[in-house]
Structure 1
Amino acid sequence: MSTAPWPELAALYDTPPELSSCPLYYVHVDERDTAVTLGFETARLPDHPEPEWARRAYNTLRFFVVFTGVEDLRMTGLAAGHPDGGDRVLISGSGCGSGDGRRRVTVTGTGRSLSFSAAASAVTRTRVYLQGSV
């Protein structure tokens, strides 16, 4: 499974975009709260946009997924800066027959990887903006 049933995205899309089609541009590890935040963007505009978004031009949606209760965190080669969009994000568990109720998250890309399990996840922020020229 490459996406998760986040109500925040389900409210915006009839069928939310697959994470594999959304470039990962942000990773934040918070060791104090045992949380990992992943930031994604997509040029696929929402079917049901927020009313306040109608007042401005935009062509990109960004959303942040916070995974909490993180365990078994493993990272290699995470580089700063905007990735080339070649990352592959897979999420399994929690409703996928894993049995322990945890989500397993794996991010792989050229020269880098990130993996962990999490007790829960939620989309904590969505925003639209105009990227490049229209």
Structure 2
Amino acid sequence: MSASDWGEILASPDSLGRYYGDSVPAAGDCRLFYVHVDERGESVTVGFQTEVMPAYPADAWLGVEYNTLEFFLFFPGVEEFSVDGWGSVEAARFEVGVRPGGVVSVALGSEGAGIRFRAGSVALRKARVYLAAGGA
């Protein structure tokens, strides 16, 4: 994944751009903590946490003490889905990129193990802030 792909995906005003502007957290500043596969809807939802605080917090977050932002990316129209093991080692690594034609390519895990798929698009499904003990 190139940094520009990650930034391009997240910096949209429809995504994390509404909270960060053009300075969204780098992939290295995010931790993958959630994966939900919905075979009925042919979609995957992936959750991330970051300690990089938003420059433009939502009105609901004002006056609230927090140190972690959690966000969920929704990938509809999933194709070429495969799983080759899943655990804490695989969850520590992820790549999200945009291929020609706008197809989103996702790899969660290492080359030999993890979850891989392609999706027609990606959208921010939910974002929230909270006070984590010891940070994210």
Provide TM-score, normalisation by structure 2: 0.82
The 3 A distance-change label for structure 1 pair 38 and 64 is same
Amino acid at match of 2:95: L
Q: Is the 8 A contact 1:20 1:88 kept in 2?
A: no
Q: Is the 8 A contact 1:25 1:41 kept in 2?
A: yes
Q: Structure 1 unaligned segments of length 5 or more: list them.
A: none
Q: For each residue in 1:81-133, what CA deviation from the matched residue of structure 2 results, as whole angstroms up to 9, or x when unmatched?
A: xx47962221222xxxx333211111115984111000011011000000005
2:84 matches 1:87: no
Cα distance, 1:20 vs structure 2:
2.9
Question: C-alpha root-mean-square deviation of aligned residues, in Å?
Answer: 2.3
Following superposition of structure 1 onto structure 2, how do residues 1-134 of structure 1 map, counting pairs within 5 Å?
1-2=2-3, 3=6, 4-5=9-10, 6-7=12-13, 8-14=15-21, 15-79=23-87, 83=88, 87-93=92-98, 98-109=99-110, 112-132=113-133
Amino acid at match of 1:46: P
Q: For each residue in 1:17-52, what CA deviation from the matched residue of structure 2 results, as whole angstroms up to 9, or x when unmatched?
A: 122320100000000000000000001110110111
- Which has the larger share of helix? 2
Q: Structure 2 unaligned segments of length 5 or more: list them.
A: none
Amino acid at match of 2:132: Q
Seq. identity, %? 34
Amino acid at match of 2:96: I
Q: What SS does the aligned partner of 1:120 have? A: coil
Amino acid at match of 1:89: F
Question: Could you tell me how far apart the structure 2 residues matched to 1:70 and 1:118 are?
Answer: 4
Q: More displaced, 40-49 or 103-112?
A: 103-112
- Which has the larger share of strand? 1
Question: Could you tell me how far apart the structure 1 residues matched to 2:54 and 2:31 are?
Answer: 16
